[in-house]
Structure 1
């Protein structure tokens, strides 16, 4: 078991983007309508058999390799809780246009209505922005009754939906934790590393201008059922402060990026080695943002540089990241937290 460098994996999506991914990876050109790079993915697009899955060098699906040796890839503690599912999906997401107002189901909603173990809590690590006013939109500013939300969706009143959300200006180094149910949108020019539960479940409150018709927005449930997953409570500035963190000025060797409540879903740290950073054994996804260095394990040494994405099996053992490099390390839920 050894770390593996992965190629880009950009399934077609309904919105524009991809230039920032191409720039990070030093690719010759951007993929048209390729705003998401699904890294080390064992998850498919909703309702699709294979699109979204990551291939290892040689062409094997990572999903199949993990299923064949789950303890080696994920570790005994993880497999005791999640069997052969990494319980994590990592993306590079480049918003070439504003995303629609949408939200994601919770675990309980997904289990009750979709037969799926996981909902879709997520988090954003902002790694780049363009334009004069990079914004994300998170949670309703005030309580909204369910009938009002249904009316907005029925009439596709985009201005009302967007205007009801908190607009938050972001810059590289900011992180946002997005619990399931929280209505949100990502503004044009925001480039993130996204951690999420391993599903492609979205309820689109705003679909006009993004999808062909409303059927793309409610997961086949109909809006009467799907909108029950929306958090209609108000999010004050004090409440939002628990979700949004500013970490750009922190330069410790290992900088935790997310609040403690995220540990039940995923974990993220930014690594600033300078010399050497010791990393305990874990399944992990590494996104290299700056510089170059070496990822050393007992089984192999892997040279890494800006734009590399690497999947690290638990069975590779303790790792050491060395060199003048900055990277985001993404991991599954903390043992015992789910």
Structure 2
């Protein structure tokens, strides 16, 4: 069996960001260094917007994971996935520690990204809350009421932060909550919220609230200008009940963390293993939340992150382990 056909433990990968955070990642990973940044890009084959390498994950032997996957997509991703996506994992997983409230922003859809950014993927994403701190851990998701295009443009032009944030649905969160964020839906993550984030594999953000966060307005619109970039904003009202799930009390060997609306973009379940469990072959990114044991040949514990190639086959998990398993969208067999 190829050495690439085994699960691989990954070190932290924290490219520079514009906002504060990082201590929750350091504590989770049991690291002394708490100032490396608020995001850990796990098993990433995606670069930061406009960068050549920042954001990419390295394997223990020094290769970029991106290059290893490109060299043998079927081994890493499976033949069906490779037939649909080539060497594209179709997935980016992050740990994100909001040390301050993030700005109000949104992400383009597949159609917008294809038309204006030359990319197959937009950036639908979802959050799995794994920790909170402070008195008011809150996320803000979708407009409470429909917002006319001219009003949204005025808010951005005048940088009316109070109006933008006030127009969103505030949702208090606790560990086990999940939030699905469709492309276009405006959102912000509040201070003290620590998440595992799944998303499409891009770094496309339209930052409506740039003042006090970004260097200038030019950094906020993907080089398109706000007149064009705001076309990707979902201005219709959203109901948090359609986007937020409370999963902490759900038990069983595997708890599906998202509704079917997420399936075209990514999948995630929370595994509860006590003893042994055999997992079906799949490319996957694992974040261990609690306990200790093994994932195939890899020893794991709270804070471990592991990438599993499809060619690893039926991987066996042993021990007492709670982990989030993140996977790309499923690809149907030909003719199915």
Q: Is the TM-score greater than 0.5?
A: yes
Q: Residue 24 of structure 2 is aligned with which of 12, 20, 23?
A: 20
The equivalent of 2:304 in structure 1 is 308
In structure 2, what is the Cα distance between the partners aligned to 1:331 and 1:196?
Answer: 10
Deviation at 1:175, TM superposition (A): 0.2
**1:322 equivalent in alignment to 2:326:** no
Distance 2:129 2:330 in 1: 22
Q: What's the offset of the Cα at 1:240? A: 2.3
| Structure 2: segments with no counterpart, 5+ residues | none
TM-score (norm 1): 0.96
1:91 paired residue among 78, 91, 94: 94
Deviates more, 1:270-279 or 1:283-292: 270-279
Mapping of 1:62-77 within 5 angstroms?
Answer: 62-77=65-80
Residues 159-178 of structure 1 mapped to structure 2, 5 A cutoff: 159-178=162-181
Show structure 1 runs of 5+ residues with no match.
none
Displacement after TM superposition at 1:120 (Å): 0.1
Residues 2-81 of structure 1 mapped to structure 2, 5 A cutoff: 2-32=6-36, 34-81=37-84
Q: Is the 2:44–2:57 contact (alpha carbons within 8 Å) kept by the matching residues of 1? A: yes
Aligned partners of 2:242 and 2:270: how far apart in 1?
19
Write the distance in 1 (CA, Å) between the matches of 2:122 and 2:67: 22
| 1-structure distance, mates of 2:47, 2:93 | 12
Q: Which of 193, 198, 205 in structure 2 is aligned with 1:195? A: 198
Aligned counterpart in structure 2 of residue 232 of structure 1, from 220, 232, 235: 235
Determine if contact 1:242/1:259 at 8 Å carries over to the other structure: no
Counterpart in the other structure of 1:262: 262
1:274: how far off?
1.2
Q: What SS does the corresponding residue of 1:58 show, helix, strand or coil?
A: coil
Separation of aligned partners in 1, 2:107 and 2:6: 34
Distance in 1 between the 2:161 and 2:107 partners? 18
Verify the 8 A CA contact 2:171 2:240 in the aligned structure 1.
no
TM-score (norm 2): 0.97
Residue equivalent to 2:328: 332
**1:132-174, CA deviations, whole angstroms, 9 ceiling, x for partnerless residues?**
1100000000000000000000000000000000000000000
Residue 325 of structure 1: how far off its partner (Å): 1.1
Moved over 4 A (4+): none
Contact residue 118 and residue 199 of structure 1 kept, 8 A: yes
Counterpart position of 2:136: 133
Contact 1:18-1:30 at 8 Å conserved across structures: yes
Measure the CA separation in 2 of the matches of 1:155 and 1:42.
37
User: Paired residues, what number?
Assistant: 329
Distance 1:317 1:302 in 2: 15
Q: CA contact under 8 A between 1:19 and 1:30: conserved in structure 2?
A: yes
Counterpart for residue 250 of structure 1: 250
- Of 116, 119, 123, 1:120 maps to 123
Corresponding residue SS for 1:110:
helix
SS where residue 273 of structure 1 aligns? strand
Give the secondary-structure state (helix, strand or coil) at the position aligned to 2:108: coil
